[in-house]
Amino acid sequence: MGNVFLNTMARFVVLVLLLVSVLSVYSAGAQSPEEMQQIQQAQQAAAEQKVDVSRYIQSESRFKRSSSGGTESIRSGSSTGAGGLRPFGANLFDGSFEAERSDGLNPTYRVAPGDKISVQLWGTVELAEVLTVDNQGNIFIPQIGPVPVIDVPATEVNRVVKAKIRSVYTNNVNAYVNLLTATPVSVFVAGPVIRPGQYAGLPTDSILYFLKRAGGVDPIRGSYRRITVLRNNNAVQEYDLYKFMREGRLPSFSFKDGDVILVGEQGPMVTVEGAARYPFRFELTEQRSKGSDLTYFSRPLAKTSHVAITGNRPDGPVSVYVPIAEFENFDIYDGDVVLFNDDLQPQVISVKISGSYIGPSFYTVKKDARLLDLLPYIEVDAEHADIDSIYIKRESVKERQRELLDESLRRLERSVFTAPASSDGEARIRAQEAELVMRFVERARQVEPLGKVVLSEQGKIANIRLEQGDEIVIPLKTDLVQVSGEVLMPQAVVYNPKARLTDYVAWAGGYSERADDERIAVIHANGLTTFFETDESSHWFSSTTQVKIQPGDQIMVLPRVDTKLIQSIKDITQIIYQVALAANVALDSN
């Protein structure tokens, strides 16, 4: 029956692994034929061990296929070049601002045939009409005649039309003229964009609107710095989107029917990594540029001290490491990878003070400082601070305690799930045991170690070297003894120099039904945890006859492990003690 149970468990594990594999595939989304081919190539390459498999792997497809078969602009976070970094400015086209554009007219707009102009007259003559600019560039006002308005700036329309009206009606006629709407125009978008073609818009729409309609600049081939508006085959406006991204400068321009927006081919590219606010691929305006041109857009962090530059030159590959100040005048070329690095080690560390103290709670000391170098500068009230019981909470110790606890929990899990079963009844017992153990493991993993470093013993303090982030704890003197864990009434009891350990337990209501009344943990004020054995036959535990309870101690009665967990009782007991030592918590196994 044991073999049947093991075979059943093996089949269950295989099914779980298959299910995880299927879910991982579907969680990434449907695979296109191109992506499936990439995966097959990667598997073949891994088998041959001839190439780097990682070059076949991408975080997601370069283009997101739409239901109509077209492509949408590249999404944020997609891999679009060396190192998976997007070009600086690519996120300009991630939004949907083209659907939220305004119909307002900018001041530089010039009137064109088809525009609507509102004319209102009152006084001797009354008129309220919306007039359309005809093909000859005029609006016709009754009793006044045609008024030429073609190519008149939007801000001058009112003045030009009112001047014509007053040339006919010199007295007692007031006029108000306003340009209402502009005639839609058709603009061509060409060059390396996602969807080149012809797009309709208003003359006052920005160049970003038309580029967005075309899917945005192609991040692999297109330039964000060399965009030209052509009119009758002549360049009439130049755009550098880097100036808009960095400085907010976007020239105003009025488009006309038949204009062409031409996106240039991508220029030299440099990849920025490391300690920079903008880790992107940046386009240069020249084949050779200075480092200062790059730092202006990439904005290295204040802590950056050095720059690593790798790339190729006509005479071969280069790899240099220079201080940030020298990089400002360093020549960078197309294809370079620039890594901003913080290579200066701090010469000071910060230490926190907690507990009973007077004055600041943070101190900055030299990185090689020791505890006794700092203690003379910490002011305390001698009547309230227990300076003989100082201890430290240290992050590195906390992490190590967490690692040891996780290792013990993994060992416990392995012992439970690999335990043999010789009969159906024993298999059911093992299943129940596994369920209980898993609940215990889940609770144990939620325990947060304290990372205590015990320093004091019999009034002497170890002069250890301090570390960044250390918390020096100065306990508060107290006349109380805390009793916790598996007692009926966990509480604080007034210290009695004549009382024994068992007396304090009795004052807390005695042991609970789940208490391990043979072993008790005492957590001293200096952070040291001692386990005491009530049975005189103990080997490594101290006897309760040797216990000397002091004010500020915490008596912790640990839980008893249910004896029905035959296979794992030893491991669970060890973990309970480990948790009590690392986190001062009495973890129950039930």
> Which pLDDT tens digit goes with each residue over 95-111?
665 554 555 556 667 78
Mean pLDDT lowest for which of 84-98, 244-258, 576-590? Answer: 576-590
Looking at residue 589, its pLDDT comes to 57
Q: Which residue has the higher pLDDT, 298 or 249?
A: 298
First to last CA, the chain: 29
Looking at residue 56, its pLDDT comes to 29
Q: Cα–Cα distances in Å, from 282 out to 153, 194, 217, 273, 293?
A: 38, 19, 14, 11, 10
Percentage of the chain beyond pLDDT 70 is 76
> Mean pLDDT throughout 513-541?
75
Confidence of residue 21 (pLDDT cuts 50, 70, 90): very low
> Mean pLDDT throughout 494-523?
88
> Mean pLDDT throughout 521-526?
88
pLDDT over threshold 50, residue 184: yes
Closest CA relative to residue 332, chosen from 385, 383, 296:
296
> Mean pLDDT throughout 434-454?
83
Whole-number mean pLDDT of the chain? 78
> Mean pLDDT throughout 458-468?
86
- Give the separation between CA 348 and CA 351, rounded to whole angstroms: 10
Confidence of residue 262 (pLDDT cuts 50, 70, 90): very high
Q: Cα–Cα distances in Å, from 406 out to 324, 402, 447, 561, 578?
A: 43, 6, 11, 19, 11
pLDDT over threshold 80, residue 384: yes
Q: Which residue has the higher pLDDT, 3 or 446?
A: 446
- Give the separation between CA 586 and CA 487, rounded to whole angstroms: 11
Mean pLDDT lowest for which of 3-7, 364-368, 411-415, 425-429? Answer: 3-7
Q: Which residue has the higher pLDDT, 112 or 349?
A: 349
DSSP E strand stretches across 342-488: 348-355, 362-366, 391-393, 452-454, 456-457, 460-461, 471-474, 480-485
Question: Could you tell me where the DSSP H helices lie in 125-280?
Answer: 157-168, 207-213, 241-247
Looking at residue 47, its pLDDT comes to 44
pLDDT over threshold 60, residue 209: yes
Looking at residue 191, its pLDDT comes to 94
> Mean pLDDT throughout 277-304?
90
Residues 38-62: tens digit of each pLDDT: 445 444 544 443 333 233 223 333 3
The domain defined by 269-341 carries CATH number 3.10.20: yes
- Give the separation between CA 329 and CA 542, rounded to whole angstroms: 70
Confidence of residue 367 (pLDDT cuts 50, 70, 90): confident
Looking at residue 111, its pLDDT comes to 80
pLDDT over threshold 80, residue 466: yes
Q: Which residue has the higher pLDDT, 426 or 94?
A: 94
Closest CA relative to residue 451, chosen from 469, 434, 433:
469
Pick from 52-56, 95-99, 173-177, 355-359 the range whose average pLDDT is largest. Answer: 355-359
Mean pLDDT lowest for which of 115-129, 248-262, 397-411, 569-583? Answer: 569-583
Looking at residue 106, its pLDDT comes to 62
* 10 φ/ψ sector (left φ>0, alpha ψ -120 to 50, else beta): alpha
116-181 folds as: wza like fold (3.30.1950)
- Which of 1.10.490.10, 3.30.460.10, 3.40.190.10, 3.10.560.10 would CATH assign to domain 185-265? 3.10.560.10
Q: Which residue has the higher pLDDT, 196 or 64?
A: 196
Mean pLDDT lowest for which of 128-142, 159-173, 573-587? Answer: 573-587
Confidence of residue 71 (pLDDT cuts 50, 70, 90): very low
| CA angle in degrees (0–180, nearest 5) for 319-325-329 | 70
402-583 folds as: Outer membrane lipoprotein wza fold like (3.10.560)
Looking at residue 86, its pLDDT comes to 84
Looking at residue 9, its pLDDT comes to 47
Confidence of residue 232 (pLDDT cuts 50, 70, 90): very high
> Mean pLDDT throughout 499-507?
89
Mean pLDDT lowest for which of 51-60, 430-439, 490-499, 561-570? Answer: 51-60
